[in-house]
């Protein structure tokens, strides 16, 4: 397996496909998944001459199941460790859900200062803040995330099946075409990871206020979101993010779910390509 070691000694698994002199695209996965969630996108772009990179977040997939560091700062620093180890420059960074939060923190804190980030894409992403607070009344109440924590602690295996078979891909909607393989693959990826990382990661994706990250980003940024996202509601995410970005473009997909990069890759991939070549 291809791995790098972070400054705090955590082994991070990564994939690196395509020509070493190709334009690099780095993909950042969502909770509680792994780099495998990007296989469709990685194959699409490597076949078009790009160099595609994806890593498993600490505690997820094939990366080390360490006890600590399950927060957005460590997520971004780990991604930067991969970029530095591979000596990537002018990278296009694409993040889904929690991975979108990772991209926002990475670009703001590491990518722009180092000059290694050229463009960013936030897909169904969690910024600026998911949690309902006095200053963010449109957010989701803490009870929603406490329910996620309880599900992970009580019966993670069943919870992961329920999420994948229901709201994540919109399979709970009337008339939806249900892909059993997609459900099983989501479950497989989730169960590869650490329950502790998943439990603590809920706080990271729900309570991290990334307003300042978005305001700091100056590279061209594409924000993609489905208006039927049942996991990260668009009104509290993309519609707010686009107002905070200095150089952002928003595209809303009518009726598409949170996991649209998988269920509707035939739509998402060409839109990513158009942004990368613009």
Residue 54: which CATH number? Answer: 3.40.50.1820
Asked if the model's pLDDT at residue 169 lies above 90, the reply is: yes
Q: At 230, is the pLDDT very low, low, confident or very high (cuts 50, 70, 90)? A: very high
User: What Å distances lie between residue 113 and 24, 26, 90, 116, CA to CA?
Assistant: 18, 17, 12, 8
| 97-148 pLDDT tens trace | 999 999 999 999 999 999 999 999 999 999 999 999 999 998 999 999 999 9
Catalytic site residues? 97, 229, 258
Domains contained in the chain, number? 1
For residues 61-70, average pLDDT: 98
Asked if the model's pLDDT at residue 222 lies above 90, the reply is: yes
For residues 220-224, average pLDDT: 99
Domain that holds residue 34: 3-276
């Amino acid at each position: 397996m291809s791995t790098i070691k972070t400054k705090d000694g955590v082994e991070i698994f990564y994939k690196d496909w395509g020509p070493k002199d190709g334009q690099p695209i780095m993909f950042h996965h969502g909770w509680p998944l792994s780099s495998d969630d990007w296989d469709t996108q990685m194959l699409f772009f490597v076949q078009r001459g790009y160099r595609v990179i994806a890593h498993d977040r600490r505690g997820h997939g094939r990366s080390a199941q360490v006890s600590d560091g399950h927060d957005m700062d460590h997520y971004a620093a780990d991604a930067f460790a991969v970029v530095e180890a591979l000596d990537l420059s002018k990278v296009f960074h694409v993040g889904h859900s929690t991975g979108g939060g990772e991209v926002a923190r990475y670009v703001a804190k590491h990518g722009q200062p180092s000059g290694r980030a050229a463009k960013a894409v936030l897909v169904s992403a969690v910024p600026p803040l998911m949690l309902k607070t006095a200053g963010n009344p449109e957010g989701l109440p803490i009870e929603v995330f406490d329910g996620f924590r309880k599900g992970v602690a009580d019966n993670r295996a069943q919870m992961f099946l329920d999420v994948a078979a229901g709201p994540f891909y919109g399979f709970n909607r009337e008339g939806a075409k249900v892909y059993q393989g997609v459900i099983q693959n989501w479950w497989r990826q989730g169960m590869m990871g650490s329950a502790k990382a998943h439990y603590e990661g809920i706080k990271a994706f729900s309570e991290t206020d990334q307003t300042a990250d978005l305001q700091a980003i100056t590279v061209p940024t594409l924000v993609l979101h489905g208006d039927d996202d049942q996991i990260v509601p668009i009104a509290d995410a993309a519609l707010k993010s686009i107002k905070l970005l200095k150089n952002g473009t928003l595209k809303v997909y009518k009726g598409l779910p949170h996991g649209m990069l998988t269920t509707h890759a035939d739509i998402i991939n060409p839109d990513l390509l158009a942004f990368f070549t613009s």
